[in-house]
Amino acid sequence: MSEYTPPLRVTSPAALDTLARCRDLVLPALRETVDRLHPWLGRMASFTFGWCDSDGTPTVRGTSNNSGGGNGGGGGKALRPALAVLAAEAVGAPAQAAVAGAVAVELVHAFSLVHDDIMDGDEQRRHRATAWKTFGVGPAVLAGDALLALALDTLAHSTGRLAPATRSAAMSLLSTSLVELVNGQAADIAFEYRPWTGPEAVTVEEYRTMATRKTGSLLGCASALGALLGGAPPEMVTAMSLVGRDLGTAFQAVDDLLGIWGDPAVTGKPVFNDLRLRKKTLPMVCALAGSTASAQQLADLLAMPLDTPDAEWTLRRTAALISKAGGRSFTTAQAHLHLDRALRTLDSVAMERTAAAELITLSEFVVNRTH
Amino acid sequence: MSEYTPPLRVTSPAALDTLARCRDLVLPALRETVDRLHPWLGRMASFTFGWCDSDGTPTVRGTSNNSGGGNGGGGGKALRPALAVLAAEAVGAPAQAAVAGAVAVELVHAFSLVHDDIMDGDEQRRHRATAWKTFGVGPAVLAGDALLALALDTLAHSTGRLAPATRSAAMSLLSTSLVELVNGQAADIAFEYRPWTGPEAVTVEEYRTMATRKTGSLLGCASALGALLGGAPPEMVTAMSLVGRDLGTAFQAVDDLLGIWGDPAVTGKPVFNDLRLRKKTLPMVCALAGSTASAQQLADLLAMPLDTPDAEWTLRRTAALISKAGGRSFTTAQAHLHLDRALRTLDSVAMERTAAAELITLSEFVVNRTH
């Protein structure tokens, strides 16, 4: 397998157009939902979406729907809402059918970021201070809770014209995904207490299960919800769920690559962030699982403390050893493997052609993105 | 209005029997649900229910269903599950019909306690260290999230034999209650930043709205869910919701009384806890709203710092002035007013007699309890 080559900073205009279209479609409903919160919670929620500064002053992103390419200026890529919208269109429904589902998954995603940043002690996200760093831990806990409460309420109440069975199935998809998500996050944190090497070390298989739960479940929920709300039959909902899950697992693999080799100017996180935090990500787990000399050198390096003056050198060397031990190429291959599987699943169901093409473009973006 | 007399420490055997019966009925399903969590999350969840110590060692409470009177030995009164069960029985259904709803509201309650303790910085609950104090803030955030995720999932999946419309209505009740709950908690925290006196001071009406959201909404959800899952028609579900909301508002008033005048040996919290935390509770808000000399003296006292050697004297004097300014008697009257309204609502609907009697006994316990 050839050595991983970092993607060029191509912006994939088609994928960014799709993301922008879906974000613009969903934004008014998302804002309306957030308006139902107590003003103080509403301000924190708006901050997490990049609509305003910590004091409530609207940002450029917050005053127009034009976010200029899915990065910078706060807010996220809104990948999950896009998946929901495209899934609805792919099964022949109008985009509008997916809006409640798209809002719900974006709210759940925002909730998980706010709480994860507290758990991980992360101080920066999307080029700004995180919510807990800005408002304090207690307020950020409540802001996260509020986002989650809104997600459920949106799905329970914005789908009034649907058959009760569909509404009930939608809530079921979301709640299953939530349980998976917290169990995945717990597994990820529990990995921290495991040794780097030896029989107790985290295996690639354990990592994959964790990533599918932590990231795949919500992307799977997004695409399944879109199909369900778009009126698709159960087997199509299941297929769309599988597509999202595979994309999510690929997404997490790419996240792991960017967490080590990503450009801080693009990712909005410090260089070598995951190495600094000593995270057991896929490139690391895979590199250590090998029996090469590099794997042994890597293990030796990890046994050394990081709070020395030459920490930068250590981090650079760690990253190089992970590459050399095959962790980088394996993780890239994993991302492509899950992408390919998602594309094959997409190919197996009869879909509306334009939406299908957009779904494929977006899927490829998930793997080739630089942020 | 006569001066408030603290209730004797009668244990109200009938109410405690009802609580124990409902708790025993719900416990197996609650445990089964918690078992679906990642082992690390499951241990934290079990700790919050008082089933085990921080290291996972089962407590006496955890190994038997006999909790010896609803207090001590960890765990809570399980008032919300009892309301759900009794509401189902009151509308003529078997107790078993309410179990999924009872489990869900108890999980939401546990979630809110775990997160509220983080926000309030409370170090003790139910005679033990709180979850964040025991496991750390990050893990406690995730444990709370997990409890909430399970609540939704229980309701979405344990009600399979019900009509989709009922299942969907149940999810709707729970999500509405969640949004109210976070908005109420936000209002409570926002009160902290308001002045004690003057035009910007918290009014009794604002306090009541907050308490109904923060506490009434979940008790209302519990009784409404019980009636709904028991097959009651919509008007009965609404009536039961109102009963629970009034009980919740009464419950919060009593909580406020116990937060100042409760016996620490019984409440499990430090003496004068709410005064120490400078909380704007109903007795305080009401006392300050008056124009008596005591109200003025109280305001003067609150302007003084608490970190002096005579802090204990200040707290005792603060409590006495709240009483003298009428805050204690007004709050007691409020609790009884909401209890009376709950009992009148109960009286207005045709119910199964034994369950109705138990509901009345439990309602009176809410107001006369000492913990």
Q: What's the 3-state SS for chain A? A: CCCCCCCCCCCCHHHHHHHHHHHHHHHHHHHHHHCCCCHHHHHHHHHHCCCECCCCCECHHHHCCCCCCCCCCCCCCCHHHHHHHHHHHHCCCCHHHHHHHHHHHHHHHHHHHHHHHHHHCCCEECCEECHHHHHCHHHHHHHHHHHHHHHHHHHHHCCCCCCHHHHHHHHHHHHHHHHHHHHHHHHHHHHCCCCCCCCCCCCHHHHHHHHHHHHHHHHHHHHHHHHHHCCCCHHHHHHHHHHHHHHHHHHHHHHHHHHHHCCHHHHCCCCCHHHHCCCCCHHHHHHHHCCCHHHHHHHHHHCCCCCCCCHHHHHHHHHHHHHHCCHHHHHHHHHHHHHHHHHHHHHHCCCCHHHHHHHHHHHHHHHHCCC
Q: Does A351 touch chain B (CB under 8 A)?
A: no
Give me the residues of A, 74-113, that contact B with CB < 8 A.
none
Contacts of A37 in chain B (CB under 8 A): 179, 182-183, 186
**Partner residues linked to B52 by β-bridges:** B58
Instruction: Summarize the confidence of residues B127-133 as an average pLDDT.
Output: 93
pLDDT for residue A160 = 65
Contact yes or no for A181 and B149 at CB 8 A: yes
Integer Rg of chain B from CA: 20
Q: The pTM is what?
A: 0.93
Count of CB atoms situated within 10 Å of the CB of B82: 30
Residue owning tokens 């297929």? A239
Contacts of A36 in chain B (CB under 8 A): 179
B138 falls in which pLDDT band (50, 70, 90)? very high
Dist CA B56 CA B41 (whole Å): 11
Contact yes or no for B40 and A137 at CB 8 A: no
Q: How many beta-carbon pairs below 8 A join chains A and B?
A: 157
Residue owning tokens 């009148």? B344
Count of CB atoms situated within 10 Å of the CB of B260: 24
Task: Return the higher-pLDDT residue of B269 and B225.
Answer: B225
pLDDT for residue A286 = 97
pLDDT single digits (tens) A62-79: 554 444 333 333 467 899
pLDDT for residue B12 = 79
pLDDT for residue A161 = 78
Contacts of A181 in chain B (CB under 8 A): 149
Dist CA B342 CA B241 (whole Å): 10
List of domains in chain B: 13-368 (1.10.600.10)
| Best residue of A35, A107, A141 to probe chain B, by most B CBs closer than 10 Å | A141
B152 min Cα distance to partner chain A (Å): 6
Local structure of B152: helix, strand or coil: helix
Query: What mean pLDDT is reported for chain B?
Result: 91
Write out the H or E segment, with its range, that includes residue B124: strand B124-125
Contact yes or no for A148 and B153 at CB 8 A: no
Contacts of B145 in chain A (CB under 8 A): 115, 144, 148, 182, 185
Instruction: Evaluate if residue B293 carries a pLDDT over 60.
Output: yes
Which of A9-18, A150-159, B45-54, B245-254 is predicted with the least confidence, judged by mean pLDDT? A9-18
Instruction: Summarize the confidence of residues B187-197 as an average pLDDT.
Output: 95
CB A362 within 8 A of CB A18: yes
Go through chain B and tell me how many residues it has: 371
pLDDT single digits (tens) B144-179: 999 999 999 999 987 667 888 999 999 999 999 999
| Residue A59 CA: distances (Å) to CA of A47, A63, A132, A212, A350 | 9, 6, 19, 34, 42
pLDDT single digits (tens) B258-276: 999 998 887 777 788 899 8
Q: Does B185 touch chain A (CB under 8 A)?
A: yes
Of A38, A115, A142, the CB nearest to B119: A142
| Best residue of B122, B177, B179, B191 to probe chain A, by most A CBs closer than 10 Å | B179
Q: Does A179 touch chain B (CB under 8 A)?
A: yes
pLDDT for residue A62 = 57
Contact yes or no for A153 and B178 at CB 8 A: yes
CB B37 within 8 A of CB B145: no
Instruction: Summarize the confidence of residues B241-248 as an average pLDDT.
Output: 98
Q: Does A121 touch chain B (CB under 8 A)?
A: yes
φ, ψ at B307 (rounded to 5°): -90, 35
Q: Does B138 touch chain A (CB under 8 A)?
A: yes
pLDDT for residue B370 = 78
**Partner residues linked to B129 by β-bridges:** B124
B75 falls in which pLDDT band (50, 70, 90)? low
Q: Does A175 touch chain B (CB under 8 A)?
A: yes
Dist CA B47 CA B50 (whole Å): 5
Tell me the two tokens of residue B343. Answer: 């009992």
Give me the residues of B, 21-50, that contact A with CB < 8 A.
36-38, 40-41
B325 min Cα distance to partner chain A (Å): 31
Contacts of A163 in chain B (CB under 8 A): 164
Contacts of B139 in chain A (CB under 8 A): 119, 189
Would you put residue B234 in left (φ > 0), alpha (ψ -120 to 50) or beta? alpha
Contacts of B174 in chain A (CB under 8 A): 152
Listed as ranges, residues in chain A with pLDDT below 70 are 1-11, 61-75, 159-160
Dist CA A67 CA A307 (whole Å): 39
Instruction: Summarize the confidence of residues B177-199 as an average pLDDT.
Output: 96
Dist CA B266 CA B283 (whole Å): 20
Count of CB atoms situated within 10 Å of the CB of B298: 25
Of B148, B169, B176, the CB nearest to A148: B148
- Which one-letter DSSP state was computed for residue B213? I
HSE-CB for A49 with a 13 A CA cutoff:
27
Contact yes or no for B115 and A146 at CB 8 A: no
Which of A56-65, B132-141, B343-352 is predicted with the least confidence, judged by mean pLDDT? A56-65
